Amino acid sequence: MSKAMELIVAGYVKAKSRRALSDLLSHRQRVLAELEAVTGINPAKAAEAVRDELSIIEAGIEELKPPPGSLPENEYS
């Protein structure tokens, strides 16, 4: 897994910035889609790295979810 991505996500979680995590998630999803559309080379290793980063980002977003039954916070704080 990407240590750099872990540190970035940890910073966003500490700052409680769901918007930044959502933006990062969207970006990485676009990168993955572009990698999967590549022809002529085998982008499997790069795609695997991006999938690992996506799981890190998703875990960070999960950490910021309010507990069940509580009032939801602003999604883009």
Burial of 54 (0-12, 13-18, 19+ CB in 10 A): middle
Residues in the chain predicted with pLDDT less than 50, given as ranges, are 76-77
Per-residue model confidence (pLDDT) at position 67 = 77
| Region label for 16, one of left (φ > 0), alpha (ψ between -120 and 50) or beta (otherwise) | left
Per-residue model confidence (pLDDT) at position 14 = 96
Per-residue model confidence (pLDDT) at position 1 = 59
Give me the residue spans of the domains in the chain: 3-63
Q: Tell me the whole-structure pTM to 2 decimals.
A: 0.83
The C-alpha angle 26, 53, 17, rounded to 5 degrees, equals 55
Per-residue model confidence (pLDDT) at position 65 = 87
